[in-house]
């Protein structure tokens, strides 16, 4: 620790011994540093806060472009986008000296670094602009920063309120054009489909429709076969029951004859709609004819009503079986025809598939375009009467009174301290190069030999007068250096007062 203090004391002694060199280096460094600080243009900052409301009730339902979280991100990206920044440059004095597209691109890139858009909350944004152009004065830079922020707000309001309605109108016009084109294509497809269906009615809908009809017919055939089996079983049961039932009951007076009974049964069957070619009708007519030739065919005993009822039921069930058999034959014929169409005309079936597929695709696209057109029209009405986009300026662009950067007072003081440090460092470096020693202890450590003593400096009267004169010059130079720093600080604060 003692050695450290010794080194510090030696360095201070060396600096004081060569104080004029320290002062000269400090003056040189400070002048250069202050000139560099003076050349740095002041950058002024203007800030504004805006509130963008995108939570309209109809936004999600109508899919309006200004609704949802995606639109919040779009606001952040497009507000300070290259297109908007170029409009700002062209609309302000920033573009006054720009003569080429390359210069414009560089100006846009620089302004993009100086303009920041931050989202404080979901719908609250802060716009900050820094402007520090060398060809503009401080007052002009301050006004320019405010102008840039205000221009961004105006462009954003124009594009997202007035421009959005024009975008909706243009979209509706485009959709109308697309609808007219798709309508013509759909009408042509409908005409082609109608002609094909008229020429090939059995292939309407293509192979898919044929396969669907074939599957439905087969399913219906299975149901008819099940019903037929049940009807045949019921007919067999009633036939067995009829075989065991007598026609007449013994012991009666026989008020009714067999001829009358047969004629009654014939009338009942004809009442149910059976034709003369029906087997039951033919059998009864043959029986009536035999009874008439035998003289009335009176049979002793009373006719059995149960037998007559069973005969009627049997006839009904026979008719049901015949109807099911006829339906089964028709379905089998239909299945055979559909299978023949699939097997015999593959090219026609493929053509039917293509025509049906093209028609369905065109119709679906047309319906989608029609729905989109109606949504856009409704959206246009909503935008006109009740806009979902609400834009409020919470804090208008501020007029900067003080430069945001650089911190010139701090830089001026820092340059002064750096100049003094540079002077001391220069003296210390020269001392190390010349291998001189400020103290006897330093010499003893360097040579590793004992130092017996030191000789003090003795000055004459003229030498002391010269030293006093040099001290006055040193104090004057040091005071002038400090005064120069104070003067520059004063000029800086005066300039700031002029901006305010």
The answer to whether 287 and 260 are in contact (CB under 8 A) is no
Q: Please indicate, yes or no, if residue 387 is contained in any of the structural domains.
A: yes
Report the 10 Å Cβ neighbour count for 311: 19
Q: Write down the pLDDT at residue 266.
A: 78
The answer to whether 419 and 26 are in contact (CB under 8 A) is yes
Q: ∠ CA 263-269-270 to the nearest 5 degrees?
A: 90
Whose structure tokens read 């003056």? 27
Q: Please indicate, yes or no, if residue 467 is contained in any of the structural domains.
A: yes
What is the spatial distance between Cα 130 and Cα 282, in angstroms, rounded to a whole number? 114
Residues paired with 53 in a beta bridge: 390
The answer to whether 399 and 141 are in contact (CB under 8 A) is no
Residues 440/444/450/455 CA torsion (nearest 10 deg): -20
Same domain, 16 and 133: no
Q: Please indicate, yes or no, if residue 193 is contained in any of the structural domains.
A: no
Same domain, 473 and 458: yes
Instruction: Report which listed range, 34-38, 120-124, 354-358, 371-375, is most confident.
Output: 34-38
Same domain, 212 and 344: yes
What is the spatial distance between Cα 302 and Cα 143, in angstroms, rounded to a whole number? 128
Q: Please indicate, yes or no, if residue 199 is contained in any of the structural domains.
A: no
Instruction: Kindly report the pTM of this predicted structure.
Output: 0.46
Q: Please indicate, yes or no, if residue 86 is contained in any of the structural domains.
A: yes
**pLDDT tens profile 469-489:** 888 888 898 899 999 999 988
Q: Please indicate, yes or no, if residue 313 is contained in any of the structural domains.
A: yes
Q: Total structural domains in the chain?
A: 3
**pLDDT tens profile 122-156:** 678 888 888 887 777 778 888 888 888 888 888 87
Pick the residue with more confidence: 300 or 27? 27
Q: Write down the pLDDT at residue 4.
A: 62
Same domain, 295 and 159: no
Q: Please indicate, yes or no, if residue 89 is contained in any of the structural domains.
A: yes
Same domain, 235 and 317: yes
Average pLDDT over residues 353-370: 78
Q: Which of 395, 426, 458 is the last residue of a domain?
A: 395
Same domain, 118 and 255: no
Same domain, 21 and 56: no
Same domain, 385 and 416: no
Same domain, 219 and 345: yes
Same domain, 304 and 213: yes
Same domain, 260 and 331: yes
Confidence of residue 30 (pLDDT cuts 50, 70, 90): very high
- Residue 326: give the domain boundaries: 206-356
Does the pLDDT value for residue 279 go beyond 80?
Answer: no
Would you state the structure tokens that stand for residue 53, as one six-digit string?
């409301």
Residues 350/353/355/359 CA torsion (nearest 10 deg): -170
Same domain, 104 and 148: yes
Q: Please indicate, yes or no, if residue 188 is contained in any of the structural domains.
A: no
b/e sequence 32-55, b meaning 16+ C-beta within 10 Å: ebbeebeeebbbbbbbbbbebebe
The answer to whether 304 and 248 are in contact (CB under 8 A) is yes
Does the pLDDT value for residue 38 go beyond 90?
Answer: no
Does the pLDDT value for residue 336 go beyond 60?
Answer: yes
Q: Write down the pLDDT at residue 187.
A: 78
């Amino acid at each position: 620790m003692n050695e450290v203090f010794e080194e510090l004391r030696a360095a201070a002694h060396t600096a004081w011994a060569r104080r004029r060199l320290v002062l000269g280096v400090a003056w040189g460094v400070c002048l250069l540093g202050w000139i560099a600080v003076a050349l740095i243009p002041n950058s002024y900052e203007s800030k504004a806060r805006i509130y963008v409301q995108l939570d309209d009730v109809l936004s999600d339902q109508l899919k309006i472009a200004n609704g949802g979280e995606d639109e919040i991100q779009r606001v952040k990206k497009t507000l300070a986008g290259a297109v908007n920044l170029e409009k700002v440059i062209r609309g302000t004095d920033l573009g006054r000296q720009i003569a080429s597209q390359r210069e414009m691109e560089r100006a846009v890139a620089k302004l993009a670094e100086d303009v920041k858009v931050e989202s404080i909350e979901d719908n609250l944004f802060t716009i900050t602009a820094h402007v520090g152009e060398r060809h503009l004065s401080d007052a002009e830079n301050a006004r320019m920063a405010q102008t840039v922020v205000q221009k961004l707000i105006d462009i954003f309001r124009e594009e997202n309120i007035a421009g959005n309605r024009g975008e909706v109108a243009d979209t509706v016009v485009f959709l109308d054009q697309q609808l007219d084109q798709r309508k013509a294509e759909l009408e042509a497809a409908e005409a082609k489909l109608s002609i094909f269906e008229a020429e090939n009615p059995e292939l309407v809908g293509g192979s898919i429709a044929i396969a669907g009809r074939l599957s439905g017919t087969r399913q219906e055939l299975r149901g008819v076969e099940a019903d037929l089996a049940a009807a045949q079983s019921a007919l067999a049961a009633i036939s067995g029951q009829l075989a065991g039932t007598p026609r007449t009951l013994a012991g009666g007076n026989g008020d009714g004859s067999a001829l009358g009974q047969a004629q009654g049964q014939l009338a009942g069957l004809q009442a149910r709609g059976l034709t003369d070619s029906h087997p039951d009708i033919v059998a009864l007519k043959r029986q009536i004819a035999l009874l008439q030739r035998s003289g009335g065919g009176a049979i002793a005993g009373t006719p059995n009503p149960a037998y007559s009822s069973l005969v009627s039921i049997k006839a009904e069930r026979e008719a049901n079986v015949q109807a099911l058999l006829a339906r089964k034959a028709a379905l089998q014929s239909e299945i055979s025809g559909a299978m023949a169409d699939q097997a015999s005309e593959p090219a026609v079936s493929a053509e039917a598939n293509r025509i049906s597929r093209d028609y369905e695709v065109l119709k679906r696209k047309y319906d989608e375009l029609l729905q989109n057109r109606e949504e856009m029209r409704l959206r246009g009405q909503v935008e006109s009467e009740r806009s979902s986009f609400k834009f409020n300026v919470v804090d208008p662009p501020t007029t900067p009174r003080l430069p945001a950067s650089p911190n010139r007072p701090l830089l001026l003081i820092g340059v002064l301290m750096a100049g003094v440090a540079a002077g001391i460092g220069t003296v210390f470096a020269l001392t190390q190069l010349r291998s001189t020693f400020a103290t006897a202890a330093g010499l003893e450590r360097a040579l590793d030999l004992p130092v017996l003593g030191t000789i003090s400096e003795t000055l004459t009267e003229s030498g002391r007068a010269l030293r006093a004169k040099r001290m006055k010059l040193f104090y004057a130079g040091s005071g002038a250096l400090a005064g120069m720093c104070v003067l520059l600080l004063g000029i800086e604060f005066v300039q700031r007062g002029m901006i305010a």
